């Protein structure tokens, strides 16, 4: 070996070591995706406590094509007519004609583009029929079959388009958070979340009826206490096709503002779990005897037992992604992302209809609290949700067999 060659060999070894370290830093377990009945490992990296995974690896696991342009550092994921464009360092991902915002820009590691794992299920729901969930604790992507109670196969009369019947989204259930004894969170000036949630909901109901011609069922129309179970029961009994729960957020950091949209899942990040815990605290205010008859209670038990399924997981993710996109666009507020978390109020509805929960802003932020109280701002929130529901309705009603 000439001295020159030796230098090259050492150089390569050093580079390889650096790449290995980047791909699997100490303490980083393997990220696995369980899809199409097979387990596949994905390249991953933990950056500032956030797990990033290889987008091409994930695309391959979902049997999607990819194209990489090293010059522009752009990865295109192709799903039929739809393409998603990931650019290194850019938090915006173009998906078809829409923009999707990642919490952090994709990074290049060992020549591969890695993106934040917890944001990818909602994004990929726009590209692939395989609904994924990110399990932050296990650091694994799962498909619903691995999570599910098996209800998917047992429920008769699937309302989704399946080539036999057309899925008509003709009834939307709106759930104004809290009410009555339960004020929800309080703004700095003491305005309760329950009032803002109701005002936005009433406005949204009117828009959905007028603009889309759909039936709207409200879980409450005034300042009354309604248990979380009763809300789910109302939605399922009414034969709702979508369930939209409206809330305001709270956090112990006064500077934090922005919107978040959630879909139901037991797999969640610590942050999402904290929000779900706060919203589930509404259970504290519930006195079952007051609001729910024994028969209702039994019916709800049955709904919870039989229909706590992930039947509408993919649709819920997709609706959440659309709503989040429109809210960020329409309100010009901070994009706090689409998340999955275990909200009790949606446990009764997810098996029956796509279900989402919207945190329209932070009452703990003085500026945002003032905006949320403003009727014009509430109308803009309702407008944004309307646009998302309209697009969702169009996609599903015009694409039978989807
Ligand atoms: Zn709430």
Residues 127 and 189 grouped into a single domain: no
Ligand 1 midpoint to CA 186 (Å):
10
What integer pLDDT is reported at residue 327 of this predicted model?
96
What's the gap in Å between 156 CA and the centre of ligand 1?
A: 33
HEC per residue, 279-329: HHHHHHHCCHHHHCCHHHHHHHHHHHHHHCCCCCHHHHHHHHHHHHHHHHH
Q: Could you tell me if residue 61 is inside a domain?
A: yes
Residue-wise pLDDT tens digits, 84-118 = 999 998 888 888 766 667 778 899 998 899 999 88
Last residue of a domain, one of 93, 127, 147: 147
231 found inside a domain = yes
**Cross-strand pairs, 326:** none
The rounded Å distance from CA 184 to ligand 1 centre is 5
| 8 A C-beta contact, residue 272 and residue 337 | no
Distances (CA, A) of 392 to 169, 285, 396: 9, 34, 6
99: region left, alpha or beta (phi > 0 left; psi from -120 to 50 alpha): beta
Same domain, 105 and 205: no
pLDDT of residue 377: 98
Same domain for 27 and 155, yes or no, is: no
Q: CA angle, corner 101, sides to 121 and 323, nearest 5?
A: 75
Residue 325 and residue 313 share a domain: yes
Give distance in angstroms: CA of 247 to centre of ligand 1: 4
Task: Indicate whether 254 pLDDT > 90.
Answer: yes
HEC states along the chain?
CCHHHHHHHHHHHHHHHHHHHHHCCCCCCCEEEEECCEEEEECEEEECCEEEEEHHHHHHHCCCEEEEECCCCEEEEEECCEEEEEECCCCEEEECCEEEECCCCCEEECCEEEEEHHHHHHHHCCCCCCCCEEECCCCEEECHHHHCCCHHHHCCCCCCCCCCCCCCCCEEEEEECCECCECCCECCCCCEHHHHHHHHHHHHHHHHHHHHCCEEEECCCCCCCCCHHHHHHHHHHCCCCEEEEEEEECCCCCCCCCEEEEEECCCCCHHHHHHHHHHHHHHHHCCHHHHCCHHHHHHHHHHHHHHCCCCCHHHHHHHHHHHHHHHHHHHCCCEEEEEEECCHHHHCCCCCCCEEEEEEEECCCHHHHHHHHCHHHHHHHHHHHHHHHHHHHHHHHHCCCC
Residues 386 and 295 in one domain: yes
* Mean predicted confidence (pLDDT) in 25-50: 72
Residues 33 and 130 in one domain: yes
Chain segment 128-140, per-residue pLDDT in tens: 776 677 777 778 8
Angle 321-322-324 from CA coordinates, rounded to 5°: 65
Q: How far is the centre of ligand 1, averaged over its atoms, from the C-alpha of 121 (Å)? A: 24
Query: Domain total for the chain?
Result: 2
| Most confident option among 34-48, 262-276, 295-309, 364-378 | 364-378
- Residue 312 is predicted with a pLDDT of 80
Confirm if 84 and 125 have CB atoms less than 8 A apart.
no
CA of 326 to the centre of ligand 1 (A): 20
CA of 146 to the centre of ligand 1 (A): 30
Could you tell me the distance, in angstroms and rounded to a whole number, from the CA of residue 320 to the centre of ligand 1? 17
User: 230 and 291 in contact (C-beta within 8 Å)?
Assistant: yes
Same domain, 138 and 258: no
Q: Tell me, yes or no, whether 267 and 279 share the same domain.
A: yes
CA–centroid distance, 249 to ligand 1, in Å, is: 7
Q: How far is the CA of 345 from the centre of ligand 1 (A)?
A: 11
Which of these three, 147, 167, 193, is where a domain ends? 147
d(Cα 301, Cα 222) in Å, to the nearest integer? Answer: 26
Rounded Cα distance between 357 and 223, Å, is: 19
CA of 129 to the centre of ligand 1 (A): 31
Domain final position from 147, 176, 192: 147
Residue 395 binned pLDDT confidence (cut-offs 50, 70, 90): confident
Ligand 1 centroid to residue 185 C-alpha, Å:
7
Domain assignment present for residue 18? The answer is: no
Rounded to the nearest angstrom, the distance between the alpha carbon of 352 and the centre of ligand 1 is 22
Distance 251 CA to ligand 1 centre (A): 12
Range of the domain at 136: 23-147
In a domain, 2, yes or no: no
* Cα-to-centroid distance, 324 and ligand 1 (Å): 17
For ligand 1, the distance from its centroid to the CA atom of residue 193, given in whole angstroms, is 7
What is the Å distance from ligand 1's center to 244 Cα? 13
Between the CA of 4 and the centroid of ligand 1 the distance, in Å, is 67
pLDDT computed for residue 158 by the predictor: 44
CA of 245 to the centre of ligand 1 (A): 9
The alpha carbon of 361 and the centre of ligand 1 are apart by a number of angstroms equal to: 11
Q: Please tell me the distance between residue 341's alpha carbon and the centre of ligand 1 in angstroms.
A: 14
141 plus 167 within the same structural domain: no
Do the domain assignments include residue 3?
no
Do 104 and 155 belong to one domain? no
Half-sphere exposure of 74 (CA within 13 A, CB side): 11
- Average pLDDT over the chain reads 78
Sheet holding 74-79, edge to edge: 65-69, 74-79, 82-87, 92-95, 98-101
Are 142 and 157 contained in the same domain?
no
Q: What is the CATH number of the domain that holds 126?
A: 3.30.457.10
Q: What is the pLDDT of residue 163?
A: 37
The highest-confidence range among 43-47, 202-206, 238-242, by mean pLDDT, is 202-206
Q: Is there a domain that residue 312 lies in?
A: yes
> Distance, CA 353 to ligand 1 centroid (Å)?
21
Cα separation, 215 vs 57, in Å, equals: 43
What's the pLDDT band for 144 if we cut at 50, 70, 90?
A: low
Domain harbouring 363, CATH code: 3.40.630.40
pLDDT of residue 39: 78
Structure confidence at residue 305 as a pLDDT band (50, 70, 90): very low
What b-and-e string marks burial along 135-172, b requiring 16 or more CB atoms within 10 Å of the CB?
A: bbeebbbbbbbebbeebbeeeeeebbbeeeeebebebb
Distance CA 402, CA 391 (A): 15
What's residue 309's pLDDT? Answer: 55
Ligand 1 centroid distance, CA of 381 (Å): 16
Domain membership of residue 15 (yes or no) is: no
Cα–ligand 1 centroid distance for 356 (angstroms): 13
CA of 281 to the centre of ligand 1 (A): 9
Residue owning tokens 């290995």: 20
Say if the ipTM goes beyond 0.90. yes
Confidence bin at 21 (pLDDT 50/70/90): very low
Ligand 1 centroid–CA 229 distance in Å is 15
Instruction: Give me ligand 1 centre to Cα 140, in Å.
Output: 29
Distance 259 CA to ligand 1 centre (A): 13
> What share of the chain in percent tops pLDDT 90?
40
Same domain? For 132 and 167 the reply is no
Strand 65-69 to 50-54 pairing: unpaired
In a domain, 12, yes or no: no
């Amino acid at each position: 070996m000439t001295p020159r060659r030796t230098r090259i060999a050492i150089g390569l070894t050093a580079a390889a070591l650096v790449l290995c370290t980047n791909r699997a830093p100490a303490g980083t377990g393997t990220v696995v995706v369980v899809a199409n009945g097979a387990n596949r490992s994905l390249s991953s990296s933990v950056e500032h406590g956030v797990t990033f995974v290889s987008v091409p690896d994930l695309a391959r696991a979902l049997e999607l094509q990819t194209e990489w342009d090293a010059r522009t550092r752009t990865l295109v994921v192709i799903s039929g007519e739809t393409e998603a464009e990931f650019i290194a360092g850019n938090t915006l991902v173009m998906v078809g004609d829409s923009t999707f915002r990642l919490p952090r820009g994709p990074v290049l590691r060992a020549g591969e583009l890695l993106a934040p794992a917890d944001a990818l299920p909602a994004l990929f729901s726009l590209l692939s029929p395989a609904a994924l969930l990110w399990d932050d604790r296990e650091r694994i992507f799962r498909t619903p079959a691995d999570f599910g109670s098996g209800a998917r196969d047992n429920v008769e009369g699937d309302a989704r388009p399946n080539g036999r019947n057309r899925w008509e989204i003709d009834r939307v259930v709106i759930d104004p958070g809290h009410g009555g004894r339960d004020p929800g969170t309080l703004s700095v000036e003491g305005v309760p979340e329950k009032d803002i949630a109701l005002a936005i909901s009433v406005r949204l109901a009117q828009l959905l009826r007028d603009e889309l011609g759909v039936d709207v069922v409200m879980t409450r129309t005034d300042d009354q206490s309604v248990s979380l179970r009763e809300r789910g029961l109302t939605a399922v009994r009414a034969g709702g096709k979508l369930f939209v729960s409206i809330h305001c957020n709270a956090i112990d950091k006064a500077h934090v503002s922005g919107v978040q949209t959630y879909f139901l899942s037991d797999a969640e990040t610590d942050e999402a779990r904290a929000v779900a815990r706060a919203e589930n605290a509404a259970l504290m205010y519930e006195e079952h005897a007051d609001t729910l008859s024994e028969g209702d209670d039994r019916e709800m038990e049955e709904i919870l037992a039989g229909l706590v399924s992930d039947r509408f997981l993919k649709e819920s993710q997709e609706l959440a992604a659309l709503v989040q996109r429109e809210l960020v666009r329409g309100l010009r507020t901070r994009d706090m992302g689409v998340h999955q978390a275990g909200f009790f109020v949606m446990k009764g509805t997810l098996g029956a209809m796509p279900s989402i929960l919207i945190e329209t802003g932070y009452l703990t932020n003085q500026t945002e609290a003032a905006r949320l109280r403003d009727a014009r701002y509430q109308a803009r929130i309702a407008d944004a949700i309307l646009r998302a529901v309209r697009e969702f309705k169009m996609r599903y009603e015009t694409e039978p067999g989807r």
